[in-house]
Amino acid sequence: MTIADSYDALARMLDYPENKELLQTDYELVSSFLKKQRLENFIYSFAEFASVSSLAALQEEYVATFDFNPATAPYLGHHLFGDNQKKGGYMIMLKQEFERCGYNPVGTELPDHLSVVLGFLAHLARQEDYGPRRPFITECVLPGVERLHTAFTARQDSHWQVLVETARLLCAEDCKEVQSC
């Protein structure tokens, strides 16, 4: 289990749920990495929720949490810049960085969706080139994830909150691995 595998698994967990079994598999991957790194494992509560919920219930809560509530939308640009021109520049920069590093996101989400960004971090981690990853995490990812996490603290009824906290922990741990974030 590597940080790249964890980023990929968490990215799938933060995408619209389409398969309960995959959620469980991804939970086990992320949980294993957290345990290996001796990091707090908050996601067991999400795994419990997912195991007792139907796929329809998971999808309903996902939409209620991320799509119908702008405060907890999974779009980092929204949390960093709100709805102004700077967000457009951020989106363009993300797309250019993806292209420069040879990353082609799967699906139709915008480039600042947390699951897409985590997928990009997995791509960078697989290349084992810390050069572009560290500044990308510190400048483009952690500030948005921290603001999203803060938005979730005001809303303590969401099972998805622990996944955002886990994304924050993984990014912070990745910075430790690459020496300085």
Q: What is the pLDDT of residues 152-171, one digit of tens each?
A: 887 767 889 999 999 999 99
Q: How far apart, in whole angstroms, are the C-alpha atoms of residue 152 and residue 130?
A: 30
* Token pair in block for residue 27: 């939970």
**66 contacts 79 by C-beta, under 8 angstroms:** no
The reply to whether the predicted model has a pTM over 0.75 is: yes
**148 contacts 71 by C-beta, under 8 angstroms:** no
Q: What is the pLDDT of residues 32-91, one digit of tens each?
A: 999 998 888 888 889 999 999 999 999 999 999 999 988 999 999 999 998 888 999 999
Domains for the chain: give ranges and CATH numbers.
3-177 (1.10.3480.10)
In 3-state terms, what secondary structure has residue 128? coil
